[in-house]
Amino acid sequence: MNLRNINLFKQLKLSFGYKVGTIIVSFFLLKFMIEYLGVVNYGIWSIILSFITWVLFFDFGIANGVKNKVAESLSLNNNEAPLYISTGYMILSLFVLIVYILFYFISYYINWQIFFNTNSFSNIDLQNLMLISLFFILLNFVLSIVNAVFNASQNASLIVLNQFLSQTIALIILYLLIIYSDTNIYYIAVSYGSSLVLSNIVVSIWFYRNNRILSPSIKYIDRKKIKEILALGLNFFVLQITILIIINSDKIIITQLLGLECIASYDILYKYFSILLIIHGVVNTPLWSIYTEAYSKNDYNWIESTLLKMIKLMFLYAGIAYFMYIFGAEIITLWINEEISRRLTISNYIYMSVMILFFIWYTIFAYFTNGIGKTNIQLVSSVLGAVINIPLSIYFVKYIDMGLNGILLATIISLSIFGILGPIQAINELKLMKKKN
């Protein structure tokens, strides 16, 4: 077994342990969040997180650009990694400052009651809630570049450890809120944001102290690296936007077409089947930067073998999805409550499980093409998927009366475009690598 595989298996073992803890904590976090806020307020909070996710995707692919450039630098051993890391922190800091200032002034001209489709809060209350949430999320956004460094240095398990730490802090604070305070969505915004920031600060200090060669510093900021990061990041930026529209627009569409009450049902169902995404993520996440390193060395045998293994794992995922579908109602009744479980139909379980499986298939090939920097086909197919996603969702919901299933079906169709073209591209890239060798 070569060093690449030894490190991969090490990361998988560590990630699995951290991820089990993260799954348990996140399930309790969702349960207590709904218990503390109620279904409608939880719907508002979920939409806030989705909206902020939209904002964060407008980073011009900076984090992914840093990830690929650092991975490439470490592979070539050219000592430029700290330059890319330091420059990345600088670019992101300027970016979030500009975003917050712009959003602060724009927020006064948005009718937030219409956006959230609710009269439960005044417009000024919703605006303040957005500003508080965005402040913490943007601060965390800068600090989260350490996750790109984890990935690039083939320490992907530390990303999962970071998630576990932030989720645990959030759960502890939420439990205290349930005991000592009445329902207050502002408390949730501050506690959730604080948990993310605190976790990133702790892991960043620990990691950089133990890896001085990667430690960022003002003296390492290099203007020449800005162009390199942004040039590579631009394609990732467009890809992020398209995936954002395909996946994260679902909640906005649900709010406008089906109402806030349906957000909780969607989130619970997604969280339930996201166990598959979590399992897949443990295996798939470390591969991005390893693909980068293997491709730079033209190791097509390892890449081909790894892709085949990932494809075979789809059979395992499908089997797990089937059993989750069979026992879904009973598990959600025990996890949340019977009232929520009754809102979900058999077809809801089927459509959500299929959507998750399609997304897993998509990411298998997306991580490979992203890792080797060949994103054009993914770019075109994802843009096409993003263009058709919202119109299809509206058509299926309003004119065929499919409800939640219509939104999930539109997402499945949007993902299937690269789901077909991705494997074809992977085969062609492997053929080119063999010829080059």
For residue 182, with 0-12 CB atoms within 10 Å meaning exposed, 13-18 middle and 19 or more buried, which class applies? Answer: exposed
Instruction: Using the structure block, give the residue that is written with the tokens 């279904």.
Output: 39
Secondary structure of 115-154 in HEC code, one letter for each residue:
HHCCCCCCHHHHHHHHHHHHHHHHHHHHHCHHHHHHHHCC
Q: In the prediction, which pLDDT does 57 show?
A: 52
Report which residue type is found at 223: R
User: What does the DSSP 8-state code read for residue 108?
Assistant: G
Q: What is the CA radius of gyration of the chain?
A: 22
Q: Which two tokens stand for residue 287?
A: 């591969």
Q: In the prediction, which pLDDT does 115 show?
A: 80
Contact 116, 158 (CB under 8 A): no
pLDDT band at 315 (very low <50, low <70, confident <90, very high): very high
Q: Which residues of 143-169 are buried (b: 16+ CB within 10 A; e: fewer)?
A: bbbbbbbbbbbbbbbbbbbbbbbbbbb
| 70-101 pLDDT tens trace | 888 887 777 888 898 999 899 889 988 998 99
- pLDDT greater at residue 417 or residue 158: 417
User: Using CA atoms, how far apart are residues 101 and 406, in angstroms rounded to an integer?
Assistant: 37
User: How many Cβ atoms from other residues are within 10 Å of residue 250's Cβ?
Assistant: 23
Contact 65, 233 (CB under 8 A): yes
pTM over 0.85: no
Task: Work out the average pLDDT over 258-283.
Answer: 85
User: Using CA atoms, how far apart are residues 64 and 153, in angstroms rounded to an integer?
Assistant: 13
The stretches of 144-220 forming alpha helices (DSSP H) are 145-152, 157-180, 185-210
| 372-430 pLDDT tens trace | 888 889 889 988 998 899 899 999 998 998 988 999 999 999 999 999 999 999 999 99
Contact 111, 124 (CB under 8 A): no
Contact 39, 120 (CB under 8 A): no
pLDDT band at 173 (very low <50, low <70, confident <90, very high): very high
Report domain extents, the chain. Answer: 3-436
User: How many Cβ atoms from other residues are within 10 Å of residue 358's Cβ?
Assistant: 19
Helix axes 123-143, 145-152, angle to 10 degrees: 30
The stretches of 38-122 forming alpha helices (DSSP H) are 39-56, 62-76, 81-106, 112-116
| pLDDT above 70 coverage of the chain, percent | 94
| 197-224 pLDDT tens trace | 999 999 999 999 998 888 888 988 888 8
Q: In the prediction, which pLDDT does 77 show?
A: 79
